[in-house]
Structure 1
C-alpha cells in the first residue's frame, strides 16, 4: 500500500527536511513561495498557497489521496512576527496569535475530515516550539500561539482517537535554519550563546527535527504528546536569552 503525506511550510528549514525524510513516499508540499520549492524532485507534489486557506489544503489533500493512502499530515507553516503589549494595539497582537494558530487549526480540520472520510485513521504532527513553555522576551504572540497549538494537539488526540486518528507535536529549540544563519551573521557570538542554552552544546539540524516528526507519524500507540526536540534546552534552568 502506497502512503502519502501533506507537509505545510515545506519549502525551507524543518519543512523541507520533513519532506526529504518522508521519501520515497509521495509528499504534497504546501508553500507560499514558489521559489522555495525549486529543489523538489520526483515524489514531491508542490502546492503553492497559504496554509491557512482551507481551499488550498483541500486541494493538497486531494492530490495526496490520488497518489496513495493519506497517512500523515504535518503542520509546520509558521509566521515569524512579534509585537509587545505595551507598544502595539491589542488587535494587532490578537491577529498575530491568530495568524499562527489558524495554520494549525486549518490543517488539523482538513486532515481530520479526510481521515474520517477514508475510515483508515491517520497521524497529525504539529510543529510548535520550546517557547510554548519557556517564552523569551519579544515573542509574546508567537509563544502564545504555540502554547495554543499544543492544547489543540491534545484536544484532537482526545476527540478523535477512537477513530484511529493520532495527534502529536514536536517542540524544537533553536534549529540551524536559514533564519538562524542570518541571525549568526547579524549577531556575532550568537553561536556560543546558543551552545550554552542547549545542554548538548549546539543547536539542532533540521534533519534531527524531521527524524522526530517521522517517529511520531509512525508511532502507532503514541498520541497527545508534545516531544521536545531541543537538546535539553527546556530542562536547563539557566537561559541567558531570557534576560533583558
Structure 2
C-alpha cells in the first residue's frame, strides 16, 4: 500500500479488537504493513480485517488469549506461515482495573492484571523473538503507560504491571541488541477508548482531572499512540532500543 514507514513489513498486533490496537491496525496498514491482528473477540477482529481489506490492505486475524503460551505461539506461527516471516510486533494487549486502595485490593484482581499485562507480554516476547532471530532481527514495541513511569493512588497492581512492562522491555533490548532485535516501549497518557469512556462515566470528574494534569489539556486519540509505535517499528530509528517513549501530552514532565 504505497511507500510508507512500514512497507513490506509483517506486523503482529495484540489486543487488536479495539482502542489503541484497532487504531494500530489502521495506521500500520496505511504505512504499508501486512498486519496480523490478535485478540479474544472474533467478531470485532473479523470486522476490522474486512474493513482493512476493503481498503486494499493485507490483513488477517487470529483469535487468542495471550495469557496462554500456546495461543501466543499459535499467533506467531500463523504470521510466519501466512506471510513467510515476522518483521515486527506491537504488544498492546492489556487491562486496567478499578481504583481500590492497595490493602483492599482483591487477590483475583491482582492476578488478572498481572496475568494479562505481564505474563501475556512474557509469552509474546518469547515467541516473537524466537521467530525473529533466524532472520537476523526485527522490531518490537510494548505498550506500557505513564503508570509505568510514575505512581498514582489506588492502582497498585496496574502500576506494578506497567513498570514490569518497562523492565521486560529493557531486559529484552539489552539481551538481543547484538542479534538485531530492537525492543522499545510507548507509555501513553490518558487515551480515548471504550475502557476510558466507561471509567470516566463511573468516576465523575476524573476526565476533567486528567485534562487538568496534562499540559496539552486533552485526552489522546488512539491513532496518536499508534503513530508513535509505527515510527519505533520502522527502519527510521535503527539505533534506538531499550527506550520508553511517553506519548502523554507532557504529563510526566510535571
Length-normalised TM-score, structure 1: 0.89
Residue aligning to 1:35: 43
Counterparts of 1:14 and 1:148 in 2: how far apart (Å)?
Answer: 20
Contact 2:114–2:161 (8 Å) recurs in 1? yes
Extract unaligned runs of 5+ from structure 1: 237-244
Residues 120-199 of structure 1: pairs in structure 2 closer than 5 A: 120-199=136-215
The yes-or-no answer on 1:93 pairing with 2:99 is: no
Deviation at 1:203, TM superposition (A): 1.3
SS in structure 2 of the partner of residue 40 of structure 1: helix
Contact 1:64–1:70 (8 Å) recurs in 2? yes
Aligned length: 235
Counterparts of 1:196 and 1:224 in 2: how far apart (Å)?
Answer: 30
Counterparts of 2:227 and 2:184 in 1: how far apart (Å)?
Answer: 14
Residue aligning to 2:232: 216
Residue aligning to 2:74: 59
SS in structure 2 of the partner of residue 86 of structure 1: helix
Residue aligning to 1:74: 90
Change in Cα spacing, 1:98 to 1:178, as seen in structure 2 (3 Å) is closer
Deviation at 1:137, TM superposition (A): 1.7
Contact 1:19–1:29 (8 Å) recurs in 2? yes
Q: Deviations over 1:90-142 (max 9, x none)?
A: 6763554243201111111111100113x220011000010112222221111
Please report the RMSD computed on the Cα atoms of aligned residues, expressed in angstroms. Answer: 2.0
Contact 2:66–2:116 (8 Å) recurs in 1? no
Change in Cα spacing, 1:197 to 1:92, as seen in structure 2 (3 Å) is closer
Deviation at 1:88, TM superposition (A): 4.1
Change in Cα spacing, 1:58 to 1:138, as seen in structure 2 (3 Å) is same
Give structure 1 regions of 4+ aligned residues with deviation exceeding 6 angstroms.
none
Change in Cα spacing, 1:162 to 1:76, as seen in structure 2 (3 Å) is same
Counterparts of 1:149 and 1:59 in 2: how far apart (Å)?
Answer: 22
Change in Cα spacing, 1:208 to 1:89, as seen in structure 2 (3 Å) is closer
Counterparts of 1:211 and 1:93 in 2: how far apart (Å)?
Answer: 31
Length-normalised TM-score, structure 2: 0.85
Contact 1:10–1:30 (8 Å) recurs in 2? yes
Deviation at 1:182, TM superposition (A): 2.4
